[in-house]
A and B are shown apart, each in its own frame.
Chain A
Amino acid sequence: MKKVFLIFLVLLFSVSMVFAGIGCKGQTAETTAAETTAAETTAAETTAAETTAAETTAAAESVTIKMWDYQTAEAWNSAYNEIIAEFQKTYPNVTIERLAQTHEGGEELVKSSLLAGDYPDLVPIEPGFAESTVEAGYIIDLEPIIKADPEWFSWVEGYISDPGIPYKGKGIWRISADTYHIVVFYFKDIVKQYGGIDPARTITDYEENDKLFKAEGILTLGNTYQGNYQAANSFGVFVTQQVGNSKDAWEMFRQAANGEISWQNDIFKTALEGVVRLYALGSDDAISLAYDESVARLLGKKAVYNMYLGSWMLGDIEKQLASDVEAGNVGVLLYPAITDEIKTLFYGGGIGAHYSISSKPEGYKKEIVLKWAKFINSPQASAIFLKNSIMPAGAPVDNPGEIVSPFFTEYLNVVNNGQMTPQYNISLVNSNPEVGDTFLTGFAELFSGMTIDEYLANMDNVCGFKG
């Protein structure tokens, strides 16, 4: 009898907890959806004009804004400290807490915090989990808010047409602090010392230089493919080089991912050959490097060429490799061409540190959060970003030449000789977990002995290409 009673108690308790959980979640979903609709209307009206009431409230109520992003470079801390100080001149009652993490750990934190309901006011949402986030009502759509503010719209017009977070065929707008370009940083003094080709333009040039460096026990490529998705980026760039423009390259990836065309075509095959050739120039453990370890190889001057790092690193390179930068030893290259025939060099890029606005803040706090989000794209913020060698996404600055460092100027000169290609191939394949995993993990398999034909055949199989 006792046993039966105890078992009954356990079951009753568990079932009641489950129903309690359903009840709470359901209410949150309904409340959030209603709040979002009302708040969007309120925000659009409030942001359009600065009101006396808001200014009066500013003096009275202290607000803490939390923001997360993936920019862990030290230059970003310097830039944001200054931008926050600038913002606080107008809003001294506002405290801004920023948390920067690497992508690897940061994304997991974002997802789990969304689920827990404890996420920041400015939160980075990736396309891969955007649909769930939008459907759950965790973030607001910035489009009506920004469009209702002509000044803000003029500042972001240049980048806001990026598809943003995909949701039901439409892009949900998000703001970005910077635009990034992925390049190759290299040490000119080492190349010169051993009589290497400088600047190296094709993969063959890199391979010729590798013969010289290997003989001296020097690592040619420090961080070839730290993380599978960086191999994917190189793959995307090499496809774009052959196709000639990013729009058609993107369409090719889309069709292949949907099984409309075969992955086993000459363009993909040549691109993968380029990926494998480059991998051979680096250390075998490059595939397993963490982001911080990869950065350490560059800043520790442990290899000649360092790929898949970009504009977000400029400030840290200037600070931590100051003597090398001053001596002109640090050079910048675009991704190598897979063949001599390639005329235009592309580089992966897009909007960088991006933020969606949480649907949680209400009333005055929401006004301030939106003002802060707008300020990140203001001319004042852009000037501070440029000063820290970060490429701002927002408002242009008068006479940027007076602000940017010589190293940044050299960087921009190199980048302006190429063309940007967005990293859509990664987002595209990640929209289907099985396709994404085969695509990304396949690179590690390629470097462990799988042939290119096997890799492409696997992709056809997983994407459902019938022939």
Chain B
Amino acid sequence: MKTIKNNLSYYYWHIPALIFFLVFLIYPLIFGIIISFFNWDGLNPNIFKNFAGISNYIKLFQDKLFWLSLRNTVYFTLGTVILQNFLGFFLAVFIFLSRIKQGSLIRSIIFLPGILSGVLVALIWRQLLMDDGAINLLLNFLGIPTIQFLANKYLAIWTVTLVNIWQFTGFNLVILYAGLQSINLELLESSSLDGANFWQNIFHIIFPILKPTIWLTVLFNFIGGFRVFDIIWNMTKGGPAHATEVLTTFVYLNSFGGVQSTNRMGYASAIATILMIVVLVFTILRTKYIRGDQ
């Protein structure tokens, strides 16, 4: 009896968190999946008036814009994952190995953009990158013609990716630096004494030890890349000509419609469901891979 009571009181403490989880995560998730099977315009209070079956999903896979936004999302995410981890790794290693006195100050400065609001970052960088912005003024001063960072449809996606990397590299740096704390410096010293050079230490000692931490940052960056919205919406609104349209902005566009046009909430929910499945599949595969690796 006492054991049963103890077990029950153990669960009681979980109830508030469980309610929060159910109300703000599970319910919207299930509701979103359900309305993806209906043609709901997002305005009519009668949500379940027009049953669409799987037609929203069929339409989705035939929609050129969906594939374009998926492609852009992949570009953005790959750029983010690769560069953020590359920069974060080498910055962390540099600060760790150099044992620089201002190491924590440097880490804080690099991390600072990560605590700024995405909207603020986007608006500041937008002003800097415009034709008459500070960056183009500097380029013109150096004799370089104006670059259409945000208006050129080939350049725009990489511009917003770089802004995102600027904002969040500090996040990778902090996590990877924490991972480096587990490395015994004597190990590196002795390998150096045995003749290993800097790059051999990096690839044969540091990198293998840090692999689980790197996988963690890759996962975070991947999820962050797939759910990016604020930076892109406030810099380019998915333009020009959908060149920076990603899945989240595509969901938003269909949820609330463009200027003077109607909403397609059911369709937007279908897109969001696909987005969720992609991220879920990646997370499961990554977890399985790490377990196997270990």
Given A10-B26, A14-B22; A287-B261 close (CB under 8 Å): no
| B289 part of interface (Cβ distance < 8 Å) | no
**CB atoms of A115 and B43 under 8 A apart:** yes
| Chain B neighbourhood of A283, CB < 8 A | 131-132
**CB atoms of B22 and A13 under 8 A apart:** yes
Interface membership of chain A positions 110-135, coded 1 if the CB is closer than 8 angstroms to chain B and 0 otherwise: 01101100000000001111011101
| A169 part of interface (Cβ distance < 8 Å) | no
| B240 part of interface (Cβ distance < 8 Å) | yes
Using CB atoms, name the residue of chain A closest to B46: A29
**Chain B min CB distance to A416 (Å):** 28
| Chain B neighbourhood of A430, CB < 8 A | 258, 260-262
| A104 part of interface (Cβ distance < 8 Å) | yes
Which residues of chain B from 256 to 272 have any CB-CB distance to chain A below 8 Å in the complex?
A: 256-264
**CB atoms of B44 and A132 under 8 A apart:** yes
**CB atoms of B47 and A133 under 8 A apart:** no
The size class of the interface chain B forms with chain A is 35 or more
| Chain B neighbourhood of A448, CB < 8 A | 152-153, 240-241
| B65 part of interface (Cβ distance < 8 Å) | yes
**CB atoms of B260 and A285 under 8 A apart:** no
**CB atoms of B259 and A21 under 8 A apart:** no
Main secondary structure, interface of B, reads loop
| B121 part of interface (Cβ distance < 8 Å) | no
**CB atoms of A444 and B153 under 8 A apart:** yes
| A26 part of interface (Cβ distance < 8 Å) | yes
| B236 part of interface (Cβ distance < 8 Å) | yes
| A157 part of interface (Cβ distance < 8 Å) | no
**CB atoms of B45 and A29 under 8 A apart:** yes
**CB atoms of B259 and A227 under 8 A apart:** yes
* Partner of B260 from A112, A229, A284, A286 at Cβ < 8 Å: A229
Given A111-B257, A112-B256, A441-B242; A132-B47 close (CB under 8 Å): no
**CB atoms of A14 and B30 under 8 A apart:** yes
Interface membership of chain A positions 418-454, coded 1 if the CB is closer than 8 angstroms to chain B and 0 otherwise: 0000000011001101001100111011011000000
Main secondary structure, interface of A, reads helix
Interface membership of chain A positions 1-28, coded 1 if the CB is closer than 8 angstroms to chain B and 0 otherwise: 0000000001001100110011001101
| Chain A neighbourhood of B120, CB < 8 A | none
**CB atoms of A21 and B31 under 8 A apart:** yes
| Chain A neighbourhood of B150, CB < 8 A | 285, 288
Using CB atoms, name the residue of chain A closest to B129: A285
**CB atoms of A288 and B257 under 8 A apart:** no
| Chain B neighbourhood of A129, CB < 8 A | 41, 43, 257, 261-263
**CB atoms of B261 and A135 under 8 A apart:** no
**Chain A min CB distance to B286 (Å):** 25
**CB atoms of B45 and A287 under 8 A apart:** no
A128 to B130, CA, bound (A): 31
* Contact sample, A vs B, 26 pairs, CB 8 Å cutoff: A14-B27, A14-B30, A25-B45, A26-B45, A29-B44, A29-B45, A107-B259, A107-B260, A111-B257, A128-B259, A128-B261, A129-B41, A129-B43, A129-B263, A132-B42, A136-B43, A136-B44, A229-B259, A283-B132, A284-B131, A284-B148, A288-B151, A293-B130, A430-B260, A430-B262, A448-B153
Q: Which residues of B contact A (CB under 8 A)?
A: 22-23, 26-27, 30-31, 34, 41-48, 65, 130-132, 146, 148, 150-153, 236-237, 239-242, 256-264
Q: A128-B259, A436-B261 are in contact. List 5 more A-B contacts (CB 8 A).
A: A14-B30, A18-B30, A133-B43, A288-B240, A445-B241
